[in-house]
Amino acid sequence: MRAARYYDRKDIRIEEIEEPTLKPGHVAIDVAWCGICGTDLHEYLEGPIFIPAHGHPHPISGESAPVTLGHEFSGTVTEVAEDVTDLAPGQKVVVEPYIIREDVEARPGVDYQLSKDMNFIGLGGRGGGLSEKIVVERRWVHPIADHVALDHAALIEPLAVGHHAFVRSGAKTGDIAIVGGAGPIGLLTAAVLKAEGLTVFISELSEARKAKARETGVADEVFDPREVDVAEEVRRRTDGRGADVGFECSSVPVVLDMLLDAVRPAGVIVNVSIWGHKPEVDMPKLVLKEIALVGTIGYSNDHQRVIKLVEEGKIDLGPFITGRIGLDGLVSEGFEQLITNNEAHVKIIVDPRA
């Protein structure tokens, strides 16, 4: 079968590799669509980061580069191991792409995303969504209803990132949120917030992304920080109080600073960004307002909820797909587009069979 393999920085090859074989407790999936994530771009430009460098095997997967890429994917079950009794061939699924130790349980109440040596399928080994087929441990395979389109379903993984950020914020229906940065993560976080009944403000620079935030209705209002003082606008709409929660989705220090001004006293800021550099944080602002600044990584028992939101039509993922390509175009039409023409895109998805 064909697969996109990461060898090293700027060295991704489309190759013919062996098909994975089914093992006890596992499920074989034909991949339908796989999204390209900002993390994949970081690996391409600056990596290996999550990817174990050649000769340095990951402690759980035992693999190192070259590895198959792709962690945002959907597909159809083709075969299940004898001991898997609750899934059958033909079932549409998405994968929660974790590589986590076998003795760590993945159930409500367990922060398995924080377990030692956690990594991701499609980065740390165990195949990836940028290949025709994959075999995945049953516990990471989530069934989705037949009426959910498989191209839309490829965005359930980043949507779960947004949902976990929402959970970490402690926000509830009726609260007011300000999201800084409307890339794929900011937009999908906003989609979750809107679906959960919050009022959502977005700050963004790119015209295309501002338009996307407005068209999709994930934001009640969109501000451009070059035109207005965003924190001031948020306070004006909240009787001077400020937003209950803020989400940093840009990895830009001025956005974090804006959030410190835009949230209310005792408000919460969730930092979703994975920073390439250490930002300066205006601690006096944080202290004097008793702001809680919290982190969020991946997802943990979030897939069930976001799948339900998508199945019930409360979130429409279609408008966030801005490109569809085949595996051969991965670097030229996918990675390079997202690197040089990022603001014209939200999600580019790949059909590994095309």
Phi, psi of 347 (to 5 degrees): -120, 130
CB of residue 294 vs Zn ion: minimum separation in angstroms? 20
CB of residue 50 vs Zn ion: minimum separation in angstroms? 10
CA distance 246 to 171: 10
Q: What is the 3-state secondary structure (H, E, C) of 230-269?
A: HHHHHHHCCCCCCEEEEEECCCCHHHHHHHHHHEEEEEEE
238 binds, among ligand NAD, Zn ion, none (CB under 5 to 8 A by kind): none
Indicate whether 37 belongs to the interface with Zn ion (CB under 5 A). Answer: yes
Residue 339: how many CB atoms within 10 A of its CB? 12
Taking the least distance from each CB to ligand NAD, the nearer of 25 and 225 is: 225
Three-state DSSP state, 43:
helix
Binding positions for Zn ion, 243-272, rule CB under 5 A: none
CB of residue 186 vs ligand NAD: minimum separation in angstroms? 5
Span near Zn ion by CB under 5 A; candidates 13-21, 30-38, 170-178, 251-259: 30-38
Chain mean position to CA 211: 21
Taking the least distance from each CB to Zn ion, the nearer of 39 and 273 is: 39
Long-range contacts of 233-237, Cβ-Cβ distance < 8 Å, separation of 24 or more: 233/201, 234/176, 234/178, 234/201, 234/262, 235/262, 237/176, 237/201
CB of residue 297 vs ligand NAD: minimum separation in angstroms? 5
Q: Which residues bind ligand NAD (CB under 6 A)?
A: 38-39, 161, 180-186, 203-206, 209, 225, 249-252, 254-255, 272-274, 296-298, 342-343
Q: ∠ CA 162-166-169 to the nearest 5 degrees?
A: 140
Residue of 39, 113, 251, 271 that binds Zn ion (CB under 5 A): 39
CB of residue 38 vs Zn ion: minimum separation in angstroms? 7
250 binds, among Zn ion, ligand NAD, none (CB under 5 to 8 A by kind): ligand NAD
183 binds, among ligand NAD, Zn ion, none (CB under 5 to 8 A by kind): ligand NAD
Phi, psi of 333 (to 5 degrees): -100, -15
* Contacts with Zn ion, residue ranges (CB under 5 A): 37, 39
